[in-house]
Structure 1
Amino acid sequence: MKINGNEIRPGSVVEHNGGLWAAVKCNTVKPGKGGAFNQVELKNLIDGTKLNERFRSSETVELVSLELKDFQFLYEEGDALVFMDNESYEQLELQKDFVGDRATFLQDGMMVTVKLYDERPIGISLPDQVVLTIAEADPVVRGQTAASSYKPAIMENGVRVMVPPFVEAGERILVDTNEIAYLRRAD
């Protein structure tokens, strides 16, 4: 679907210069002289490069719609992660570097959303929060005030996170997978 350059919004996926780009930031500029334009920061969905581009209202770009499909994480095999489509039971293998740092948060049976373009995966979304067990936690230092005293802890997946002083090894906590931050104790 074709749209005018001034209709691009953050989150829009467009086809530009032969590639797929997601709009990260948009800023409408109305200079004193000349016509208004949309200053857009684009991020390439395939290789992650960024580009700043000006789109005038007279220009048109192709708006791309991505298919979002739910997959279940099955297992890890070497550098590959294996997912299963719950509807067709087809398996999909993705490389660890495609998922990135957040691959450490994958748990058996976890549901993820894969973004597909022409049946080809171009992105993956994990749940925003996961429950993990603390493997190691530093002891509390006496005399520290509770207001700002967080201590380092290592979770079962090997990731380090800062936790409040009352959290000890063996406890289950809720972790934000986007910020890699402690949220609260798990129920």
Structure 2
Amino acid sequence: MASTNDLKNGLVLDLDGQLWTVVEFQHVKPGKGPAFVRTKLKHVLSGKTVDKTFNAGIKVDTATVDKRDMQYLYKDGDDFVFMDSSDYEQFHVGPQIVGDAANFMLENTEVIVALHEGNPLYVELPTSVVLEITYTEPGLQGDRSSAGTKAATVETGYQIQVPLFLEIGTKVKVDTRSGDYLGRVN
């Protein structure tokens, strides 16, 4: 239990059995009337954001979310298998929890897995990863109909837009939040 006066960004609240992360909060004390706390909350599982207002000083339930450093080992059927880096315990995580992170994970990738009561909630990747281009069409000199970019498939099977001069086998840096090409890696 915490007071609404103790809210801070990143705190996970348990509201009506649902887990919500505080994205923004603002303590408001109007000229007349009681103070209140205006918050923007993000649902941990679905990612939906809502605005919620609490009276100042009321108690809210907080949830303990344990963020652990883990290593992605392999895919077992539909599940992804992660190993806790501290105690070598293995976790099977479903594809709905991994989500879009699967597009950027290679075996042995270091990630952060958030757990609540031993159940995985979501997978956090580093902001960028290095992937190798496995397929791309040759870039035609003078082809500027697509602003100098072409489609390329990286080793995870994900497709990104890259500059025309890149070829198969080139290692590129990719932003895991947007899937954008960031640069070539030597």
Worse-matched range after superposition: 105-114 or 27-36: 27-36
CA offsets 1:108-160 (integer angstroms, 9 cap, x no match):
11121111222222222122222111122233343357xx5222222122212
1:23 paired with 2:54, answer no
1:173 Cα offset (Å): 0.7
For 1:132, give the aligned amino acid: L
User: Identity over aligned residues, as a percent?
Assistant: 36
- TM-score calculated relative to the size of structure 1: 0.84
User: For 1:10 and 1:103, how far apart are their aligned partners in 2?
Assistant: 27
> In the alignment, is the contact (CA less than 8 A) between 1:71 and 1:84 conserved in 2?
yes
1:54 Cα offset (Å): 0.4
User: For 2:54 and 2:158, how far apart are their aligned partners in 1?
Assistant: 42
Change in Cα spacing, 1:144 to 1:97, as seen in structure 2 (3 Å) is same
The match for 1:176 is 175
The match for 1:43 is 42
The match for 1:167 is 166
The match for 1:77 is 76
> In the alignment, is the contact (CA less than 8 A) between 1:6 and 1:56 conserved in 2?
no
User: For 1:86 and 1:157, how far apart are their aligned partners in 2?
Assistant: 23
SS of structure 1 residue aligned to 2:131: strand
**How do 1:68-147 residues align onto structure 2 when only pairs under 5 Å count?**
68-143=67-142
1:154 paired with 2:153, answer yes
Change in Cα spacing, 1:47 to 1:141, as seen in structure 2 (3 Å) is closer
CA offsets 1:154-181 (integer angstroms, 9 cap, x no match):
2122212111222122211111111111
**How do 1:58-73 residues align onto structure 2 when only pairs under 5 Å count?**
58-73=57-72
The match for 2:2 is 2
The answer for unaligned runs of 5 or more in structure 1 is none
> In the alignment, is the contact (CA less than 8 A) between 2:106 and 2:156 conserved in 1?
no
